[in-house]
C-alpha cells in the first residue's frame, strides 16, 4: 500500500508536525493576528502567509489577496521575503514539477541566513520538494532528498521533533519501494524520539499508522496490531482528522493480512465515507486497493471488478506505478479464478510489462548507497565533534586511543553491514529473476488454456453439426427417397406387366442410393453408439472396414457403459480416424486394435503391418487426419504416442482421461 508524505503541502510552515483539525478555530486565530495592528509587521505577514497557504487549493483568488498583503507587510524583512517562492508553490497542483523550481529558488534565497529558524524553514522546503518527487513516482530521488537535504538541515536547526517526523516520512518512503527492514528501523527511531519528546499532535497517530502497515508487510502482525491500538488511542481526540481515513486503510490492510476479509471491507468503507466527508479523496486509492484484495479473497469477483474500475478513475492511482502494478496482479488473479481467461491474460501482461519497467534491484542498490553516504556524513560530523572535545580535555592521549578504538569498531561494523547488504542484494536479484520466470510461465499457461478452449469449442461444434446433418439425411432426404421408391413400386405394379430392365435398374439405383445415404448418416453419427454403447459401435466400425484383403482384430477390456456420451463420441472418432488412415495410407493386411478402461483412464492401442513412414517428416507435414486425432486427444486431456518406420508398420498408443466431469 502506497502512503503519502505529511500534509505540509496543504499547510506550509504550520507548527512542526501539527495538522489543523478544527479549521474555523485555526483561521480565526490567524485572522486575529493578521488584523491586529499592535502586532509587529513580521508576525502579521507570517499569519497572512499561513492563511494564503490554507486557501491556496480551495479559493485561489482569496489566497492571492492574503499573499499580496503578506508581501506588503514583509517588505522590510528579507528573511520573510526569501520564502515567497515557497508560498507561490502552494498555488500549483501537488504533483506539478514547476514547484520544484520554486522550492529550489526559496532554498537558494534562504541559504544566506544562518539562524536555526532558517535551517528549519529550508528543511521543510526540501520535505515539500521530496513530496512532489514522490507524487511524480520518483521514489528514489525523494528518499535521497530527505536523507541529504531535509534531515541534515533539521539537525542543524536543532528541530528535534521535526527530525523525528522526518524519520517517519523517510520510513514511509522506504516502505513504498519495498525496503521494509530499513523502514522499520527508521519508524523505531521516530517513535522512540516522539515518546521522549511527549508530542501529542495528530501526526503522531499517523506515524503509528504507517508503522503498522510496514510491520504488516514484514508479517509481524502482533506488533502491527499494537501500533494500530496506539494510533486509535490518539485519534479519539481528533475524530474529524484526515488521518482517520489513513487509519482505516491500515486497519483494513492488517485485517486482510490476517484473513479477516469481511471486517477489512467494513474498515475500508468507513475510511472512504470519512474521506468523502472531509474532501480528502486523495487517500481513496489505498482504501480501494484493500477492498480489491478483500473481494478477491472472498471470491466476490463482480465486486472486485467494480472496485478495480473505481481505481482506474483515481488520478493518484494512475500516477503511482507500484500501486498500479499490485492492482494489475490482483485483478489478473481475480479474472483467472473467474475463468475470464482473455481478461486475465491482458492484465497479467500489463502487470508483467509494468514490472519489467521498474528496476527494483537498482532502486535497492541506490537506497543502500544513499544510506551509506548519509551514515558516512554523520560519522564525519561525529569525528569532528570528538576531536574538538579531545583538544579541550586534559588527557588528550587517552582520548586519542579511545577514539581510535571507537573508529576501528565503527569501520568493522560498517564493513560487516556492507557485506550483509551485498548478500541481501544478491538474494533479491535472484528472487526477482525467479519471479519474472514465474510470471512468464503463468502467461504461457493462460495462452495454452485459451487455445485449448477454442479447440474444444470447435470439436463440440463439429459433433453437433454431424448429429444435425445425420438426422437431416436420415429423416429428411432418406425419407424422401424411401417415398419415391414406394411410389415407383406402386406405379410399376399398376401397369400389370412384367417389370422391365429399365425399371429394375431405376429401383436398383434407388436402393443403392438409400444404402449409401444410410452409410453416410451412420458414419456421421452411428446409431449403434447411441443405442448399444461404445464397445458395440467400435466392433461395427471394425467390421465395416474389414474385407478379404484386410483383417481387423478388435480386443475390448473392461469398457464401461456409463461413460458420458460426448466422451464416447470422441473415442469413436479417434478410432475411426486411426482405421481410416490405416486403410487409406498404410496398405495394411492386418490391424490389431485394443481398447481398455481402468477407472477414469481409457487406453487405445492400434498396430498395423502396413508400409509405415518416417515419423519426423510425417509429423512436420501432418494432414487433417492426424491433426483431428491430436485435437480430440487434447480435448480429453490425453497423451498420444506414435511409433513407425518405413516398411515396419505403425503403432499408436493413446491414453485418455474420461472422468464424468470432463
Question: Residue 227, Cβ neighbours under 10 Å: how many?
Answer: 24
C-alpha cell belonging to residue 491: 406405379
Place of cell 528535534: 160
- In eight-state DSSP terms, residue 500 is P
- In eight-state DSSP terms, residue 499 is P
- In eight-state DSSP terms, residue 599 is T
Residue ranges in 74-115 assigned as alpha helix (H):
78-82, 84-89, 98-110
C-alpha cell belonging to residue 256: 486482510
At a CB cut-off of 8 Å and minimum separation 6, what does 59 contact?
none
Summarised one tens digit per residue, pLDDT across range 569-595 is 889 889 988 888 888 887 888 999 999
Query: With the C-alpha atoms ordered 247, 251, 256, 257, is the resulting torsion angle positive or negative?
Result: positive
pLDDT at 630: 86
pLDDT at 301: 85
Summarised one tens digit per residue, pLDDT across range 259-318 is 999 999 998 898 888 888 877 776 788 888 888 888 888 889 888 888 888 888 877 776
pLDDT at 485: 65
Find which of 196-200, 421-425, 500-504, 590-594 is predicted with most confidence, using mean pLDDT: 590-594
The residue ranking higher by pLDDT, 476 or 137, is 137
pLDDT at 483: 65
Helix (H) or strand (E) holding 621: none
Angle at 296 between CA 290 and CA 302, to 5 degrees: 110
The model's confidence at residue 655, banded by pLDDT at 50, 70 and 90, is: very high
For residues 541 and 535, give the distance between their C-alpha atoms in angstroms, rounded to a whole number: 10
pLDDT at 604: 93
**Of 20-34, 64-78, 151-165, which gets the smallest average pLDDT?**
20-34
Find which of 239-243, 279-283, 364-368 is predicted with most confidence, using mean pLDDT: 239-243
pLDDT at 654: 94
How distant, in Å, are the alpha carbons of 72, 287, 303 from that of 298? 60, 17, 10
pLDDT at 550: 87
Residue 10 has pLDDT above 60, yes or no: no
Summarised one tens digit per residue, pLDDT across range 540-578 is 889 888 888 889 999 999 888 888 888 888 898 899 888
Residue 653 has pLDDT above 90, yes or no: yes
Read off the pLDDT of each residue in 219-226 and give the average, rounded to a whole number.
Answer: 92
pLDDT at 11: 32
Q: Whole-number mean pLDDT of the chain?
A: 79
Question: Residue 389, Cβ neighbours under 10 Å: how many?
Answer: 11
**Of 209-218, 432-441, 455-464, 591-600, which gets the smallest average pLDDT?**
455-464
Summarised one tens digit per residue, pLDDT across range 516-538 is 666 666 666 677 777 788 888 88
Summarised one tens digit per residue, pLDDT across range 422-433 is 888 888 888 888
Amino acid at each position: 500500500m502506497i502512503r503519502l508524505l505529511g500534509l505540509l503541502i496543504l499547510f506550509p510552515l504550520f507548527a512542526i508536525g501539527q495538522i489543523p483539525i478544527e479549521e474555523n478555530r485555526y483561521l480565526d486565530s490567524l485572522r486575529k493576528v493578521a488584523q491586529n495592528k499592535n502586532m509587529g509587521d513580521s508576525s502579521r505577514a507570517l499569519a497572512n502567509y499561513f492563511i494564503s497557504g490554507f486557501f491556496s487549493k480551495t479559493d485561489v483568488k482569496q489566497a492571492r489577496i492574503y499573499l499580496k498583503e503578506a508581501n506588503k507587510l514583509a517588505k522590510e524583512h528579507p528573511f520573510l521575503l526569501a520564502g515567497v517562492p515557497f508560498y507561490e508553490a502552494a498555488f500549483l497542483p501537488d504533483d506539478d514539477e514547476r514547484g520544484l523550481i520554486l522550492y529550489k529558488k526559496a532554498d537558494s534565497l534562504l541559504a544566506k541566513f544562518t539562524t536555526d529558524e532558517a535551517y528549519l524553514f529550508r528543511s521543510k522546503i526540501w520535505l515539500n520538494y521530496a513530496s512532489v518527487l514522490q507524487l511524480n513516482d520518483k521514489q528514489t530521488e525523494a528518499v535521497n532528498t530527505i536523507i541529504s537535504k531535509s534531515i541534515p538541515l533539521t539537525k542543524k536547526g536543532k528541530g528535534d521533533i521535526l527530525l523525528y517526523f522526518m524519520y517517519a516520512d523517510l520510513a514511509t518512503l522506504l516502505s513504498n519501494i519495498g525496503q521494509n527492514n530499513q523502514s522499520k528501523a527508521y519508524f523505531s527511531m521516530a517513535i522512540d524520539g516522539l515518546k521522549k519528546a511527549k508530542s501529542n499532535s495528530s501526526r503522531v497517530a499517523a506515524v503509528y499508522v504507517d508503522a503498522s502497515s510496514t510491520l504488516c508487510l514484514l508479517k509481524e502482525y502482533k506488533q502491527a496490531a499494537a501500533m494500530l491500538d496506539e494510533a486509535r488511542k490518539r485519534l479519539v481526540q481528533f475524530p474529524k482528522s484526515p488521518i482517520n481515513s489513513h487509519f482505516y486503510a491500515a486497519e483494513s490492510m492488517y485485517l486482510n493480512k490476517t484473513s479477516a476479509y469481511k471486517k477489512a471491507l467494513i474498515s475500508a468503507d468507513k475510511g472512504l465515507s470519512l474521506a468523502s466527508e472531509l474532501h480528502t479523496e486523495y487517500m481513496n486509492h489505498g482504501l480501494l486497493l484493500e477492498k480489491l484484495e478483500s473481494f478477491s479473497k472472498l471470491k466476490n469477483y463482480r465486486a472486485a471488478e467494480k472496485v478495480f474500475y473505481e481505481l482506474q478513475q483515481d488520478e493518484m492511482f494512475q500516477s503511482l506505478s507500484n500501486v498500479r502494478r499490485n492492482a494489475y496482479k490482483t485483478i489478473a488473479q481475480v479474472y483467472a479464478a473467474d475463468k475470464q481467461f482473455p481478461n486475465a491474460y491482458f492484465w497479467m501482461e500489463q502487470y508483467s510489462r509494468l514490472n519489467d519497467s521498474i528496476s527494483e534491484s537498482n532502486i535497492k542498490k541506490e537506497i543502500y548507497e544513499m544510506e551509506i553516504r548519509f551514515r558516512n556524513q554523520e560519522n564525519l560530523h561525529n569525528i569532528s565533534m570528538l576531536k574538538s572535545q579531545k583538544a579541550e580535555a586534559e588527557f588528550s592521549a587517552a582520548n586519542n586511543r579511545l577514539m581510535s578504538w571507537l573508529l576501528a569498531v565503527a569501520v568493522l561494523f560498517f564493513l560487516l553491514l556492507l557485506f550483509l547488504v551485498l548478500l541481501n542484494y544478491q538474494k533479491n536479484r535472484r528472487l526477482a529473476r525467479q519471479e519474472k520466470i514465474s510470471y512468464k510461465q503463468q502467461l504461457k499457461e493462460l495462452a495454452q488454456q485459451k487455445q485449448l478452449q477454442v479447440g474444444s469449442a470447435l470439436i463440440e461444434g463439429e459433433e453437433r453439426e454431424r448429429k444435425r446433418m445425420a438426422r437431416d439425411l436420415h429423416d429428411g432426404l432418406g425419407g424422401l427417397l424411401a417415398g419415391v421408391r414406394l411410389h415407383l413400386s406402386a406405379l410399376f405394379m399398376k401397369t400389370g406387366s412384367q417389370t422391365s430392365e429399365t425399371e429394375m435398374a431405376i429401383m436398383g439405383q434407388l436402393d443403392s442410393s438409400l444404402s449409401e445415404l444410410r452409410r453416410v448418416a451412420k458414419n456421421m453419427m452411428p446409431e449403434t453408439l447411441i443405442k448399444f454403447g461404445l464397445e458395440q459401435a467400435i466392433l461395427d466400425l471394425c467390421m465395416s472396414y474389414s474385407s478379404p484383403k484386410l483383417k481387423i482384430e478388435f480386443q475390448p477390456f473392461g469398457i464401461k457403459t456409463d461413460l458420458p456420451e460426448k466422451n464416447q463420441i470422441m473415442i469413436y472418432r479417434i478410432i475411426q480416424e486411426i482405421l481410416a488412415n490405416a486403410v487409406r495410407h498404410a496398405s495394411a493386411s492386418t490391424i490389431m486394435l485394443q481398447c481398455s478402461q481402468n477407472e477414469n483412464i481409457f487406453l487405445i492401442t492400434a498396430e498395423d503391418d502396413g508400409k509405415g513412414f518416417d515419423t519426423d517428416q510425417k509429423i512436420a507435414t501432418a494432414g487433417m487426419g492426424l491433426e483431428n486425432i491430436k485435437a480430440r486427444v487434447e480435448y480429453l486431456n490425453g497423451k498420444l504416442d506414435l511409433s513407425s518406420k518405413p516398411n515396419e508398420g505403425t503403432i499408436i498408443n493413446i491414453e485418455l482421461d474420461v472422468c464424468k466431469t470432463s
